Amino acid sequence: MRLFVAIAIPEGHRRALAARLAGAAARGPRARWERAEKLHLTLRFLGEVDAGRVEALAAALRAAVAPLAPFAARLASAGAFPSARRARVLWLGVEAGHPLARLWAAVDEACRPFAERPEERAFHPHLTLARCDPPWDERAVERFAAALGAPAPAPFAVAAVSLVESRLGPGGSRYREVAPLPLGGDGEGAGEEGRKG
């Protein structure tokens, strides 16, 4: 099974972002845009995991995230990988500070015995919006970011993560939640803003 661990983005945030993307995408070169229902924040991509090990993986992840309190996150500005001068991936940042960094570290540690390879890249929280082939140049990225504008500042609560299966097929990958992984803690990390999101 091809698996990853992710934070789901609330439907209202995804709908609002999709509406903004529709206008901004029309102003740029060709790209393969992610569908709104697939937008998520990947914490750890594992690659292929034997089906017989999935239950143990889910148990390790549950134990890792259970001590962590829910917290609030918000969508941030747009950017590109590997750089704006030669953009192959367009993304939207996610801000949540130390609680998100702690969650990522706990998930990464729990996944190490199960992943195809160790994670060597620094964690950069983002939603993948599009893949650019051929790559976009800096002017195209700047036009896109300006057209997209800043996302609404409304935060959303992160109270769980998901172990997700990615099934490749015609028309792109399809996602299926394998296991919900609720955060525990005392719940104070979400604060008043997180409960509103």
The pLDDT tens digits of the residues spanning 81-139 come to 999 999 999 999 999 999 999 999 999 999 999 998 888 889 999 999 999 999 999 99
Q: Is the bond into 29 cis (omega within 30 degrees of 0)?
A: no
* pTM listed for this prediction: 0.87
- What the chain holds in terms of domains, given with CATH numbers, is 2-196 (3.90.1140.10)
What's the pLDDT at 70? 97
Q: What is the mean pLDDT of the chain?
A: 90
In one-letter notation, the amino acid at residue 88 is R
Give me the half-sphere count of Cα atoms (radius 13 Å) on the Cβ side of residue 72.
14
Place 192 in a pLDDT band, splitting at 50, 70 and 90.
very low
Q: Measuring CA to CA, which residue among 183, 14, 1 is closest to residue 106?
A: 183
Q: Measuring CA to CA, which residue among 1, 172, 144 is closest to residue 79?
A: 144
The dihedral through the CA atoms of 108, 83, 129, 91 has a sign that is positive
